[in-house]
Amino acid sequence: MSAASAKSGLDFPAALKDAGLAALIALALSIAMLFFRTVDFQGNLILEKRWTLAGTTVLIVFAGRLALNLFWFPRRGGLGLFKIASSALPARFAELGKWMAPVLIVFAVVLPFLPASNRYIMDLAILVLTYVMLGWGLNIVVGLAGLLDLGYVAFYAVGAYSYALIATTFDWSFWVCLPLAGMFAALWGIILGFPVLRLRGDYLAIVTLAFGEIIRIVLLNWYTLTNGPDGITRIPRPSFFGLEFKRFGDGTFANYFNIEYSSMHRIVFLYYVILVLALITSALTIRLRRLPIGRAWEAMREDEIACRSLGINITNTKLTAFSIGAMFGGFAGSFFATRQGFISPESFTFIESAIILAIVVLGGMGSQIGVAIAAIVMIGGLELLRDLDALKQLFGDNFDPALYRMLLFGLAMVGIMVWRPRGLVSSRAPTVVLREHKARSADLVKEGHG
């Protein structure tokens, strides 16, 4: 402690780091609040992208925070930033998580009603939420149970194809197929789990990677069932308690509620479906972490041998992690299928697994809020990079932004990993704390000696 405060001279890299963090938060916030604005353009609503405004805001935050770090905090006893920026940062992030989670949830719930939201934003939000859900699902396997799974997309694919095939063949509704798709995916989780029970780390990663590819290649070549590379088309859309989202006919959503038809209704409905699915995933994970099975997952990640010596059945623990993780992947997959209306093996390539894994790792392996933020930053960021025309102003007209999208993305990832090697939220919240443990432990000390 005293060593830390004694050292708190001008620690420039730490100040820079901290300012960078503030800028990142500002960036995440400004994407939604400043960057996009809808404007009326010749009678059409179009989306204006305010690069300068968002960029300036981020820069101001960065510079301001840096100035505070360098000149203001050190004077307040030297304990302002430097301690925070080094050791106590995770703790502060955890604090952040406490109010961040409710704020994000409220924001997600009201998003469709914000004046700024339009078709584009809602589509992007649905995409982000799908990845949030996938991230939370994989988080069970990788973050909690510590099993490095590079083939998670396989379960996403199984879920999507299960839904597509059942729905197109038997004409069952989305809400009947969804649990079935989850069950199929869970089953495949167990099928993958058995052969890899003895594997850990690199070896496990290789086998799961292969598993993901096998599933994709089977989907590609089993023409009679999956229609091969042509994919499955005309996958039924979900209905709102039996009410269809159609323009014409009876029993449609618009008809029933006596409102004018709008294609946004379905989008908003899909948005809420994935939001609820994602929140269920998260709530279940949080609940499971407190139950013996979840605690066994985390203990297994820490030390398998110690787990065995405590009487934990490692086989069951691994298989449940794989199957529950896979089940959520399957749910997300069937959502993906019903939303797209069309699926083909092309949607389930290795890059998907890599992105989901990156979300979990960036998020901080095990942190729910971290995974959510990472998904927003990654998917939102990738989407922003799709349209880099603004950079043309910077680099001249010869600059082709599309070429640089992945490069910039990769750079950003490297940057984050250098800056926070253990992910955005690396501190692990304990699942159990003793209330009034100070008072009680004092009693116990006496008892022990008595």
**Smaller CB distance to other proteins: residue 123 or 298?**
298
Q: What is the dihedral of CA 238, 354, 290, 274, to 10 degrees?
A: -20
CB of 306 to other proteins, least distance (A): 4
Q: Is 314 in the site for other proteins (CB under 8 A)?
A: yes
List binders of other proteins among 5-24 (CB under 8 A).
none
Identified binder of other proteins from the candidate list 98, 119, 234, 308, rule CB under 8 A: 308
Q: Looking at 67, 313, 400, 402, which residue binds other proteins (CB under 8 A)? A: 313
Residue 92 sits in the site that holds other proteins (CB under 8 A): no
Contact between 389 and other proteins by CB under 8 A: the answer reads no
Going from the C-alpha of 254 to that of each of 223, 245, 292, 328, the distances in angstroms are 39, 7, 47, 31
What letters, b where the CB count within 10 A reaches 16 and e where it falls short, cover 385-407? beebeebeeeeeeeeebeeebee
Q: Do residues 165 and 232 lie in contact, with contact meaning Cβ atoms separated by under 8 Å?
A: yes
Binding of residue 441 to other proteins (CB under 8 A)? yes
| The binder of other proteins chosen from 310, 406, 411, 414 (CB under 8 A) | 310
Report the first-to-last Cα separation within the chain, whole angstroms.
35
**How many whole angstroms separate alpha carbon 62 and alpha carbon 138?**
33
Nearer to other proteins, 406 or 439 (CB): 439
Q: Is 197 in the site for other proteins (CB under 8 A)?
A: no
309 binds other proteins (CB under 8 A): yes
CB of 437 to other proteins, least distance (A): 5
Contact of 274 with 133, CB cutoff 8 Å: yes
Report in angstroms how near the CB of residue 292 gets to other proteins at its nearest.
5
Query: Is residue 202 a contact residue for other proteins (CB under 8 A)?
Result: no
CB within 8 A of 38, min separation 6: which ones? 45, 46, 47, 48, 115, 116, 118
- Tell me the CA distances in angstroms from 98 to 104, 361, 368, 369, one per residue in order: 11, 21, 11, 9
Q: Note whether 87 binds other proteins by CB under 8 A.
A: no
Largest CA distance in the chain: 86
User: Quick check: 448 binds other proteins (CB under 8 A)?
Assistant: yes
Residue 37 found at the interface with other proteins (CB under 8 A): no
**Residue 433 near other proteins by CB under 8 A:** yes
Supply the minimum distance, in Å, between the C-beta of residue 147 and other proteins: 16
Among 419, 29, 142, which Cα is nearest to 411's?
419
Judging by beta carbons within 10 Å of its beta carbon (0-12, 13-18, 19+), is residue 290 exposed, middle or buried? exposed
Nearer to other proteins, 396 or 448 (CB): 448
Question: Using CB atoms within 10 A of its CB, is residue 104 exposed (0-12), middle (13-18) or buried (19+)?
Answer: middle
Under a CB-based contact definition with an 8 Å cutoff, are residues 157 and 216 in contact?
A: yes
User: Going by C-beta distance under 8 Å and a sequence separation of 6 or more, which residues neighbour residue 73?
Assistant: 79, 80, 81, 82
Nearer to other proteins, 305 or 394 (CB): 305
Among 258, 155, 275, 133, residue whose Cα is nearest residue 215: 155
> What residues numbered 235-294 form the site for other proteins, per CB under 8 A?
292
Q: Which is nearer to other proteins, 103 or 306 (CB)?
A: 306
Query: In whole angstroms, how close is the CB of 374 to other proteins at the nearest point?
Result: 20
Question: At 24, which amino acid appears?
Answer: L
Figure out which of the listed residues 303, 387, 389, 400 binds other proteins, where binding follows CB under 8 A: 303
The residue among 242 and 292 lying less far from other proteins, judged by its C-beta, is 292
**Binding string, 391-430, against other proteins, x = CB under 8 A?**
-------------------------------------x-x
x/- site string to other proteins, residues 132 to 161, per CB under 8 A? ------------------------------
CB closer to other proteins, 115 vs 448: 448
Q: How far is the CB of 300 from other proteins (least distance, A)?
A: 10
Q: Which is nearer to other proteins, 44 or 309 (CB)?
A: 309
- Please enumerate in sequence order all residues whose Cβ is within 8 A of that of 85, keeping only pairs 6 or more positions apart, or say none: 11, 14, 15, 17, 18, 69
What is each CA distance from 12 to 9, 16, 17, in whole angstroms?
9, 6, 9
CB of 86 to other proteins, least distance (A): 16
Residue among 90 and 238 whose Cβ is closer to other proteins: 90
> How many residues contact other proteins, by CB under 8 A?
30
- List, in order, residues 6 or more apart from 436 with CB less than 8 Å away: none
State the nearest-atom distance from the C-beta of 310 to other proteins, in Å.
6
DSSP secondary-structure letter at 69? I
Cβ atoms of 374 and 426 within 8 Å: the answer is no
The footprint of other proteins (CB under 8 A) covers 292, 295-296, 298-299, 302-303, 305-314, 428, 430-434, 437, 440-441, 444-445, 447-448
